[in-house]
Amino acid sequence: MFADLLLNAIVSGVVLGGFYAAVSVGLAISFGMLDIGNLAHPAFVILGSFCVFVLNQRWGIDPLIGAILITPFFFVLGAGLYGVYHYSFERRGEEGLRGLAFFFGILFITEVALILGFGVDYRFVQAFYIDATLHIGFIDLAWRTLVPCIVAFVMIGVLQVFMAKTYIGRAILAVSQDSLALRLMSINPSRVKLIAFSLSLATAAMAGALLIIIQPVEPSIGRDYIGRVFAIVVLGGMGSFPGMLLAAILLGVAESLTATFYGPSWAPAVSFGILLLTLAFRPAGILGRV
């Protein structure tokens, strides 16, 4: 029985980790590669969840399709947000304190605006795969967790290919390492950063859809995710996708084991605790980057 429980916990932890990676990939780009401490990223994921919810409830659109529909809007939103950030802070060289306070304010505003618009009730979506469960031996996998995990892997895979193979993708990798060199190649780092940041916010749309497939969503759960995504990005080595994936899975398994054996109300402590420990003892992450 114990082995049964343990194995189920680990498997669902891995699946959960895949989903966490989808939520974190945006931050891996904005914070890991561009050094922009976008605290508000989880709030935009929740925003994505609610947009997808509205599309699902009003017009019966499948959440995944809904996510694809709203992604362009999130891209534009990201561009606008970066514009304000760049104009107010990066230009003046004051990114540190005030940039963080800025994103914290945005996080807060987004959450409160959602509360005002939707109230504090939990919202969920309907889709044909949400109520089914897959059984493999004594392992039970709910499709509503499996689908997000699969989509997450696909999304990250696509992004990885994009970063490695396309001109813009490689420019983004370059700007994360040496924006001076980029400038010498007559590529404006700010334009590259603009695209990268918009991309990071665009991922929030899909991540939001995945979230609301996995669990019912209400505005303030974004806060639980702040610790998770930052823990994953820092532990993953700031900007490395493979590292981030590994960190996400580790975190998912740790949370799953804690929830199974100690109770789900301890889960937030796991991610935030891991974050604190990572910061204290291994800030370069599992796979390491300076």
Partner 1 sequence: MKNSTFCLVTAIVVIVFFGAAMLAVTNDYFFFAGYVVLQYIVLATAWNILGGYTGYINFGTAGFFAIGAYAAVVLHKLWGPPIPVLILVGGVLSGLVGLGMGMLTLRLRGVFFAIGTLALAIVVQTFVTNWDFVGGSRGVYIIRPATAPLLGNYIHYLFLVMLVLAGFSIALARCIEHSTLGFGLAAVRDDELAAEAAGVPTLKLKLISTALSGALMGMAGAPLPYYVTYLDPTSGFNLAYAVNSIAMPLIGGMTSWVGPLLGAIFLGTIQQTATVTISSSLNLLIVGVLLVLAVVIAPDGIIGLWRPRRRRAQEPL
Binding site for partner 1 (CB under 8 A): 37, 39, 84, 88, 94, 96-98, 100-102, 104-106, 108-109, 111-113, 115-116, 223-224, 226-227, 230-231, 234, 263, 265-266, 268-269, 272-273, 275-276, 279-280, 283
Residue 149 or 238: which CB sits closer to partner 1? 238
Closest CB to partner 1 among residues 2, 281? 281
Sign of the Cα torsion 72, 113, 255, 284 reads: positive
Give the DSSP H/E element, type plus range, for residue 268.
helix 267-281
Q: Which is nearer to partner 1, 70 or 114 (CB)?
A: 114
CB of 94 to partner 1, least distance (A): 7
Q: How far is Cα of residue 93 from the mean position of the Cα atoms in its chain?
A: 27
Least distance to partner 1 from the beta carbon of 273, Å? 6
The least CB distance from residue 41 to partner 1, in Å, is 12
- Rounded to a whole number of angstroms, the minimum distance from the CB of residue 61 to partner 1 is 28
Question: Residue 219, CB half-sphere, CA atoms under 13 Å: how many?
Answer: 15
Minimum gap (Å) between residue 66 Cβ and partner 1: 26
- The H or E element that residue 142 is part of is strand 139-142
Helix (H) or strand (E) holding 203: helix 189-214
For partner 1, the closer of residues 23 and 151 by Cβ is 23
Name the residue nearer to partner 1 (CB basis): 169 or 236.
Answer: 236
Q: How far is the CB of 136 from partner 1 (least distance, A)?
A: 33
C-beta of 223: minimal distance to partner 1 in Å?
7
User: Nearer to partner 1 by C-beta: 108 or 138?
Assistant: 108
How many residues belong to the chain?
Answer: 290
Ramachandran class of 205: left when φ > 0, alpha when ψ lies in -120 to 50, beta otherwise: alpha
Q: Which is nearer to partner 1, 92 or 191 (CB)?
A: 92
**Cα 61 to the center of its chain, rounded Å:** 23
